[in-house]
Structure 1
């Protein structure tokens, strides 16, 4: 049984927890921050090629996209075991730091959630020494990942993204981070093991981590793990306290998948597009339209399942993360210029986004309860993938049935809590926006019997719902 002595080396779980609080001041001194010296370029050109090893070239390639995150948070003094605490309501401001990686030139940065958790004012120091503010855009606490937006007026260098799918035990890796405040500290080691599950405490456990021997210290959290080519293959997250050369990183493919889901969820709260896409985690995997919701802007403006999106505005799209990032700057009412490939031909389309309102903003829950008799929530992509693996199917999403109203159409057709609703009347129900589009579609308002599909105990079932007429239902209320 692994003791719960793991500490995450950054703001939330090492600067603000554990041994960091043995200092009476609870303040970690910041090392002098020196911006990268562009004047080195001329001298580098004169260095012998023997000294410019693959490690040197890898760090040089990736380092400009590594940023240093610092700020303050308020902690309860007694809970932290601080010297000088006077009672249960004693609070103190403490400094902390971590690392981030620029993934989009507009200033979007990936880091660990615990680096920015409860930080009052997130400050970011860029590769040129400039310090600016940032705001939290999206986060996933259980996966300890966050996306922040840095306030910049120039394009930032971005990290070269690699894949964690082909990592080999024993291959060389490099970590870059804000170790103890010494910015852009680089350490080297090897991949010690793959697919490690690591418990932090009784409430949290990391899954499928990369174990490495590179030195990871407080402040490294959120920084990149590189392969010898300088491609980012993971996010450094934790060390084993008391051990030597045992550290862990979240695999890059997992990071890309989770961050993409985070951004999609953030966008769905702001925008209605009606698009659902497929694509892999690596550059070049592409983005294909998997589903177009009924009555959606995507359907209205001519997008079709199977279309491959290659550009949004002026931004090339090579994978789903690119597409999600491209949508971040869109506002309701914007007309997005999309370049797509369809049946071997490239064509341009304009899709006008809409503001989340009405059923999608929350009324869809009431509508689904009154017209069908269900309470539903989106199923995680990871759950759908597990179903597809076990059932050898290709479902793209679904809605988990959390409750069924007695006597409702759903109840009459035998739909039960725990079922996963896959589609109604030929349209997929991958998310709540899909369900809203279906329930508001003119065909549905005429009250036909609509065929539905569900998954129950890894079996696909179907039936026919007599959906209540909205006007009649409103009159009854």
Structure 2
């Protein structure tokens, strides 16, 4: 039997509201009514007991102001002697993380087909309210959330921890992994979420969820890590992989919010619950989230401008240059493979995500100050963000766009290690598709952004140099019906596409 899973708030619910008290569910009304009746019953019972006992004035003992003050002083003395246990690690963790959690809400239009009595059908549009949660990962206001929280939302409204409100703009998204990056409007700096790791989680360790549950902003719940590495099918077209299962209370509106460890560090992004179950919820591991968000930002930057370098994490810290485009801005600035970028303008760089974020606010044509280390020496240079239209000045990029219809970048060492480990292969690498030209050979074969090109014909495309050599091959220049190999979500696929014929004088 196939289990039925759902996103916490895949469909933006019409019942959502930013003021929960304005539209309480019927169940809460019943509870409130029973509670009021219980108070009334208690009062009636007390009155009956009073009458039966016929209490006299002698049974009453006045408490003087002096005796009350003395009692309070005694309580204070006791509290000094006895250390309070109320401020638990959970309290400290929530206090540490809560200021970087934001609540998202907005409207989207959905269309439904309605049938009339005459048998005709028509599209009926209606507005529905939705809600979700996000976490601030950069002090300039960049927030990570689930894609289904902001999908097709006309205006993303945000409530911050202090109760103030603003709006946000969608910057980049990855629907396949259900993640999105939005930017808060307004003056920063904004407090960022403390980051943990998900590669060392233990089943049974305590966790905390914070989110906009049913519109109740900044609701906190606790639980444990119930299981790790869960693969969850949502529907016929979407599934989640390698999730954290938790018993923390997760409800509609928690989507995109943080799952914290007991130190108040984010170790996951809450994404789904098991329909009809209790205390079975799931979160995307934070290591996976940060890798996906980094790729999202790099793709977004690549569409706006070209710097001309590829990099990877460095054990010594910083962002290590791996490859450079010949004649590109980074190469002209003096950078070489092996250099470690440690600062861009005023931003210190220790991870690929920080490097991607550091250039996210840059405009095409802007010069960036780059500080890098080569050996034991530290240098400074300036690189330009060349508008993407100038990408065609690079012969390899121009040919890939013309002949295949793709823009690419190296997939990196982590991809190569994972593929060789899982598939028992000897791939030397691959090229991530960052853009697909409409109407091209790649587009006709449904190649997507995020796919990794492994090879064309019998040749591996493990690097930009490999691709350049392949595209210059006489057989490829004639525009054959070429076999290609790609990886999509760790699954190797192949197909055939008709490559464009290259004019004999087309290359310089």
Which TM class, normalised by the smaller chain length?
Answer: 0.7 to 0.9
Counterpart Cα distance in 1 of 2:429 and 2:394: 25
Matched residues in 1 for 2:503 and 2:375: separation?
A: 39
Q: Give the length in aligned residue pairs.
A: 403
Per the alignment, residue 100 of structure 2 pairs with: 65
If you compute each CA radius of gyration, which structure gives the higher value, 1 or 2? 2
Distance 1:174 1:269, change over 3 A: same
Q: Are the aligned partners of 1:384 and 1:397 in contact in 2 as well (CA < 8 Å)?
A: no
Q: How does 1:18-33 map to 2 (within 5 A)?
A: 26-31=14-19
Match for 2:292 among 251, 258, 262? 258
**Conserved? CA contact 1:397–1:422, under 8 Å:** yes
Point out the structure with the larger helix share: 2
Label 1:186 to 1:88 Cα distance change in 2 as closer, same or farther (>3 A).
same
SS at match of 2:505: helix
Tell me which of 462, 472, 477 is aligned to 1:422.
462
Which residue number corresponds to residue 146 of structure 2? 112
Distance 1:226 1:343 in 2: 38
For residues 264-312 of structure 1, give each alpha carbon's deviation from its aligned partner in whole angstroms, at most 9, with x where no partner exists. Answer: 00000011101111018xx985321111111110000011111111111
* Cα distance, 1:77–1:403 mapped onto 2, change above 3 Å: closer
**1-structure distance, mates of 2:251, 2:395:** 48
Following the alignment from structure 1 to structure 2, what is the Cα–Cα distance between the partners of residues 61 and 114?
27
- Taking the aligned partners of 1:377 and 1:417, their CA distance within structure 2 comes to 19
Q: TM-score scaled by structure 2? A: 0.71
Deviating 4+ runs (over 3 angstroms) = 29-33, 46-49, 283-286, 358-370, 373-404, 415-420, 454-458, 468-471
Residue 178 (structure 1) aligns with: 212
Equivalent pair of 2:131/2:212 in contact (CA under 8 Å): yes
Structure 2: how far apart are the matches of 1:416 and 1:260?
A: 27
How far the C-alpha of 1:344 sits from its partner, in A, is 1.7
Which residue of 2 is the match for residue 50 of structure 1? 85
5+ long unaligned stretches in structure 1: 17-25, 34-45, 405-414, 430-434, 459-467
Do structure 1's residue 276 and structure 2's residue 264 form an aligned pair? no
> Match for 1:339 among 368, 371, 385?
371
One of 352, 367, 370 as aligned partner of 2:384: 352
Question: Over residues 104-140 of structure 1, what are the superposed CA-to-partner deviations in whole Å (9 max), with x where a residue is unaligned?
Answer: 1111000000000011111111112111111110000
Q: Does the alignment pair 1:207 with 2:206? A: no
Q: Deviations over 1:32-78 (max 9, x none)?
A: 59xxxxxxxxxxxx995521111111111100000000000011245
CA contact (8 A) 1:172 1:228 kept: yes
Q: How does 1:30-429 map to 2 (within 5 A)?
A: 30-31=18-19, 49-78=84-113, 88-279=122-313, 286-360=318-392, 367-368=399-400, 374=404, 376=406, 378=408, 384-389=416-421, 390-391=424-425, 395=429, 397=431, 416-417=456-457, 420-423=460-463, 427=465
Alpha-carbon spacing, 1:418–1:173, altered in 2? closer, same or farther (3 Å): farther
**Other structure's SS at 1:323 match:** helix
Contact 1:27 1:95 in 2 (8 A): yes
Q: C-alpha root-mean-square deviation of aligned residues, in Å?
A: 3.7
- Contact 1:221–1:236 (CA under 8 A) maintained in structure 2: yes
Distance 1:345 1:428 in 2: 32
Spell out, residue by residue over 1:228-255, the C-alpha distance to the aligned partner (whole angstroms, 9 max, x if none): 1111001000001110000000000000
